[in-house]
């Protein structure tokens, strides 16, 4: 039945976008799902550690966990500059992959080497043919068309406290942010969406992922929550507010979505929710409460 | 013209609800407004330091700032237990006041001594006749009918991480929270409102206040923002979620409102906004950014 499963994946381009700090040593719920989407025992996974300052350690860590979860040893694609992003051997690795995983680190390192290069085009081709494109932290932010590359912490949206850069555009019409609750990024994402209300903000907690199928519908996995910020009907003083001032944003529609939620990004609404049982991380949170 | 100003106040019951840590040594924008509402040079202010563990210091500090801002020396009402909340001399002080100010501290100390006692009834009478009832931090929370008395920090709403108690009910149909951005209380207020969607959540930043007129319309003062959380049209798994689990809350309508915003609590919508010039606190935030 392997050919038909491959065909099914071809019909559903899939992104797997993780908010950082996913569990690797416990049940590894989030990474287990990525390995399964990549094809499990028959997966051909490529790790891209380029965002990180500790690339050898990142490759070793993901090699350990992906093989422990049943996948063959992954390949590595790690361009050191924009010129190397034209390397045909690296392009060939991405063209052959069933799963591609971008690590955390600095999303600006990724934006220097992937958008608009042959490696970036290979990522788009891989997505198109149904390979799962995964990324965590910086590797999550780079997926969207607009990417928050810098910003401050806090709940209050403030004027000119964040910076947008161009991401890969694998997912259009959104801004993805990560480490969302842990680094209190509600304010910075709301400020960006208030200034660009045609975009939908997606804030992903640590150890939490969205699985985006067919560029439109996502399902939540992991121990935290995913926030969706929708300012299409909001009013804001983003055109007038002074630098540093708290922004007025009235009428934003906000969704906080734990594992089991399915959300339609085209209609911007919850389409399904299945209450999940406790997993290890939630049990831990409960014990500390 | 003093009598007609008093008559005007009589027609508009006014609450002045501060999110804690209001500036006392600089421009004191927020407290300056309170003193003005209380009648300025002809004000008769009563300070209630009962929530605090440092009551003498609290009385000294507010006496200093209120007199510096032009008011006569305030009186003090400070019942040590529920029995003392029946003291007729203290009731008489509240009955004579043009402004009453409740300090920060523990809102549970206030809820023990004011709701349902003669002093609490005197607060309602004072509100009814147009004296301004002010409060900061714990003194803010006690104003609403439902009050968050305990809870955890964080953006993500979680099941059973907070506790509601009964407040004074000077403002019905809402839950007020304070130190909102500074203590990252978005999650706890959203969790409470998701479980009781007939209530509107109001989260007030430090050095920020809402002036509520006629029990319905509020205006924002100060350097931070006020959040309004409206779950009347949201769906939530609050009835099913396990303790500690992130709550699903889909479709909450959220407003973040800096100084200059006027909001109608009955219609739950922004009715006016005037962009304000930089004040000292905003300039400071800018300098640090």
A17-35 confidence digits (pLDDT tens): 999 999 999 999 999 999 9
The answer, yes or no, to whether residue A9 has pLDDT greater than 50, is no
Report the pLDDT averaged over residues B75-98: 97
Task: Give me the half-sphere count of Cα atoms (radius 13 Å) on the Cβ side of residue A114.
Answer: 31
Facing residue for B275 by CB, picked from A186, A240, A273: A240
Q: How far is A13 from chain B (nearest CA, A)?
A: 26
B255-285 confidence digits (pLDDT tens): 999 999 999 999 999 999 998 844 444 444 4
Which residue range forms the structural domain that includes residue B266? 14-288
Mean pLDDT of chain A: 92
Of A227 and A10, more confident: A227
Residue in A closest to B194 by C-alpha: A256
A225 touches chain B (CB under 8 A): yes
Q: Verify whether the Cβ–Cβ distance A243 to B289 is below 8 Å.
A: yes
Q: Which region among A6-15, A74-83, A115-124 has the lowest average model confidence (pLDDT)? A: A6-15
Q: 10 Å Cβ neighbour count for A233?
A: 11
What tokens appear for A95 in the block?
């063209």
Tell me if A173 is assigned to some domain.
yes
Report the pLDDT averaged over residues A155-163: 90
A162-174 confidence digits (pLDDT tens): 889 999 999 999 9
The answer, yes or no, to whether residue B105 has pLDDT greater than 60, is yes
CB-CB contact of A104 with A204 (8 Å): no
Tell me whether residue B198 is exposed, middle or buried, using C-beta atoms within 10 angstroms of its C-beta: 0 to 12, 13 to 18, 19 or more. Answer: exposed
The answer, yes or no, to whether residue A113 has pLDDT greater than 70, is yes
The answer, yes or no, to whether residue B230 has pLDDT greater than 90, is yes
Most B CBs within 10 Å: which of A157, A248, A255, as the mutation test of the B interface? A248
The answer, yes or no, to whether residue A286 has pLDDT greater than 70, is no
Q: Which of A43, A31, A15, A40 is nearest to A133 (CA)?
A: A15
Spatial CB neighbours of A288, under 8 Å, sequence gap ≥ 6 = none
A247 touches chain B (CB under 8 A): yes
Tell me if B182 is assigned to some domain.
yes
The interface predicted TM-score of the complex, written ipTM, equals 0.87
B26-66 confidence digits (pLDDT tens): 999 999 999 999 999 999 999 999 999 999 999 999 999 99
Facing residue for B257 by CB, picked from A243, A248, A256: A248
Q: How far is B189 from chain A (nearest CA, A)?
A: 13
Cα of B160 vs its chain's centroid, Å:
24
CB-CB contact of A117 with A111 (8 Å): no
B4 touches chain A (CB under 8 A): no
Most B CBs within 10 Å: which of A152, A153, A154, A155, as the mutation test of the B interface? A155
Look up residue A41 and give its DSSP letter. G
Q: Verify whether the Cβ–Cβ distance A260 to B278 is below 8 Å.
A: no
pTM: 0.90
Tell me if A5 is assigned to some domain.
no
B154-204 confidence digits (pLDDT tens): 999 999 888 899 999 999 999 999 999 999 999 999 999 999 999 999 999
Tell me if B2 is assigned to some domain.
no
A210 touches chain B (CB under 8 A): no
Tell me if A7 is assigned to some domain.
no
Task: Give me the half-sphere count of Cα atoms (radius 13 Å) on the Cβ side of residue B192.
Answer: 28
CATH number of the structural domain spanning residue A133: 3.40.50.880
- Which position has the token pair 């300012």? A231
Q: Verify whether the Cβ–Cβ distance B253 to A254 is below 8 Å.
A: yes
What's the pLDDT band for A276 if we cut at 50, 70, 90?
Answer: confident
What tokens appear for A242 in the block?
């002074």
Q: Verify whether the Cβ–Cβ distance B253 to A248 is below 8 Å.
A: no
Residue in B closest to A253 by C-alpha: B253
Q: Could you give the number of structural domains in chain B?
A: 1
Q: How far is A164 from chain B (nearest CA, A)?
A: 16
pLDDT for A160:
87
Cβ under 8 Å to B: A residues 141-180: 152, 154-158, 160-161, 180
Q: Verify whether the Cβ–Cβ distance B256 to A225 is below 8 Å.
A: no
Q: Verify whether the Cβ–Cβ distance B152 to A250 is below 8 Å.
A: no
Q: Verify whether the Cβ–Cβ distance A286 to B256 is below 8 Å.
A: no
Which residues on chain A are in Cβ contact (under 8 Å) with B224?
Answer: 156, 246
CB-CB contact of A170 with A143 (8 Å): yes
Which residues on chain A are in Cβ contact (under 8 Å) with B269?
Answer: 250-251
Tell me if B41 is assigned to some domain.
yes
Tell me if A4 is assigned to some domain.
no
Which residues on chain B are in Cβ contact (under 8 Å) with A270?
Answer: 235, 248, 250-251
Mean pLDDT of chain B: 92
Tell me if B4 is assigned to some domain.
no
B61 touches chain A (CB under 8 A): no
């Amino acid at each position: 039945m392997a050919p038909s499963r491959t065909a099914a994946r071809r019909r559903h381009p899939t992104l797997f976008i993780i908010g950082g700090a996913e569990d690797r040593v416990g049940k590894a719920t989030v990474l287990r799902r990525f390995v399964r989407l990549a094809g499990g025992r028959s997966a051909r996974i490529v790790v891209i550690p380029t965002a990180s300052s500790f690339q050898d350690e990142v490759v070793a860590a993901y090699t350990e966990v992906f093989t422990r979860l049943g996948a063959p040893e992954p390949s590595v694609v790690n361009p050191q500059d924009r010129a190397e992003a034209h390397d045909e051997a690296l392009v060939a690795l991405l063209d052959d992959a069933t799963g591609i995983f971008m690590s955390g680190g600095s999303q600006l390192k990724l934006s220097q080497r992937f958008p608009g290069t042959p490696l970036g085009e290979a990522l788009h081709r891989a997505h198109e043919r149904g390979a799962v494109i995964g990324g965590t932290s910086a590797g999550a932010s780079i997926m969207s068309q607009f990417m928050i590359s810098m910003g401050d912490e806090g709940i209050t949206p403030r004027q000119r406290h964040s910076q947008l850069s161009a991401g890969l555009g694998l997912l259009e019409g959104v801004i993805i942010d990560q480490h969302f609750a842990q680094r209190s990024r509600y304010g910075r994402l709301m400020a960006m969406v208030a200034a660009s209300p045609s975009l939908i903000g997606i804030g992903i907690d640590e150890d939490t992922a969205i699985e985006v199928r067919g560029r439109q519908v996502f399902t939540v996995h992991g121990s935290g929550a995913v926030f969706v910020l929708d300012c299409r009907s909001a009013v804001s003083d983003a055109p007038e507010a002074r630098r540093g001032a708290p922004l007025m944003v009235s009428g934003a529609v906000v969704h906080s979505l734990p594992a089991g939620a399915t959300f339609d990004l085209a209609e911007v609404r919850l389409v399904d929710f299945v209450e999940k049982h406790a997993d290890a991380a939630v049990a831990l949170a409960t014990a500390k409460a």
